[in-house]
Each structure stands twice: as C-alpha cells, then as structure tokens.
C-alpha cells in the first residue's frame, strides 16, 4: 500500500506499529507530527505497542558542531553532506550532493529533532504510555547524550 502518512488509510486494530530509521519528523510542523502519532495510537488495540526510532537530538547537534561537512565514497559515487542545525525550530538540515560518472544530483533533507521529554509528552497526549526506558542504540543501551539513536517504546492506554 502506498499512501500519505498524514491520512492513514488503514482500518481495524493493530497490536504493533513501528517507525524505524528516522522516518518521523519530516513534516513541516509539530502539529502534523502529533497528528500522525495520534492517528497511529487510534489504530492500536488497547495494550498495543508503538516503537519509534529517531535520531538522538543531543548527539546530532554535537556532531553537526564538530563535523558539519562530510564527504565519503560509496562504490563509485562521491557523497558530500553539509549539515546545519536550526535551534529555533529544532531541525537538522542536510544538503546532499551525489556525484557519479560526471553527473551530479542534489537533495535536501530536513528533520525535526525531539528531546526525550517532548517525545514523551507528545505520545502521552496521544494516549500512549512509555513502556520501559528509552534506548540510545539498537542493542538496548541506555539513552545518553552521546547515544546515536533515541528508540521509544509506548503502549496504548486502555
């Protein structure tokens, strides 16, 4: 199924919803982000779970500060990334230039980064309660300021 996340076409109840690899935070405003969380919560059966995998805001801000520009080779492609962080809207913006065989393509990525307290408040307002602690990596390590990820586990109240 292909659809816009802002208008979920799913019906029924689900036991688990998962959002991995920074697929959350791209909408233009926080209200749209919240609406998605609320819609997903509505689709979860009571006691169902939501797993959100997001970049850890503290880690990203630190990385942008020490290495705002990176260039790497992937196969025969050159990937150049220039990052900035806009603290006013809590977004990291990445300008990506890919060069391959003499041709160049450019992309722009902009992702809102949430602090743990903001994420918890948003999910609780949508009818979810934290289930366990936030992870800072895919191995289940505790979330710290130098953790690359922020993995949230929530359970539908009711």
pLDDT at 158: 84
- In this structure, the answer to whether residues 44 and 121 fall within a common structural domain is yes
- In this structure, the answer to whether residues 97 and 119 fall within a common structural domain is no
- In this structure, the answer to whether residues 93 and 127 fall within a common structural domain is no
What is the share, in percent, of the chain residues with pLDDT greater than 90? Answer: 81
| Residue 117 binned pLDDT confidence (cut-offs 50, 70, 90) | very high
Determine the Cα–Cα distance for residues 141 and 56; give it in Å rounded to an integer: 13
Counted domains in the chain: 2
Report the side by side order of strands in the sheet with 149-156: 14-19, 44-55, 149-156, 128-130
Average per-residue pLDDT for the chain? 93
Residue range(s) defining the domain that contains residue 39: 8-56+114-156
Residue 126 or residue 23, greater confidence:
126
- In this structure, the answer to whether residues 63 and 106 fall within a common structural domain is yes
pLDDT value at 60 more than 80: yes
- In this structure, the answer to whether residues 46 and 71 fall within a common structural domain is no
- Catalogue the long-range contacts made by 29-36 (C-beta closer than 8 Å, 24 or more residues apart): 30/112, 30/122, 32/6, 33/112, 33/122, 34/122, 34/125, 34/126, 35/6, 36/5, 36/6, 36/8
pTM: 0.86
- In this structure, the answer to whether residues 107 and 63 fall within a common structural domain is yes
pLDDT at 23: 84
pLDDT value at 1 more than 70: no
- In this structure, the answer to whether residues 22 and 34 fall within a common structural domain is yes
**127 in helix, strand or coil?**
coil
CATH of the domain at 41: 3.40.50.150
């Amino acid at each position: 199924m292909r659809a816009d996340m802002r208008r979920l076409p799913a019906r029924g109840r689900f036991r688990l919803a998962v959002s991995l690899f920074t697929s959350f935070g791209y909408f233009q405003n926080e209200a749209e982000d919240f609406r998605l969380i609320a819609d997903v919560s509505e689709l979860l059966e009571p006691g169902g779970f939501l797993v959100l995998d997001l970049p850890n805001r503290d880690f990203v801000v630190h990385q942008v500060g020490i290495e705002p520009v990176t260039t790497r080779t992937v196969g025969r492609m050159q990937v150049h990334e220039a990052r900035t962080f806009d603290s006013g809207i809590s977004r990291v913006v990445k300008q990506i230039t890919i060069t391959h065989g003499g041709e160049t393509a450019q992309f722009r990525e902009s992702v809102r980064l949430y602090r743990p307290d903001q994420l918890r408040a948003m999910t609780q307002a949508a009818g979810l309660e934290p289930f366990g602690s936030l992870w800072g990596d895919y191995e289940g390590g505790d979330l710290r300021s130098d953790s690359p990820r922020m993995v949230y586990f929530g359970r539908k109240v009711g």
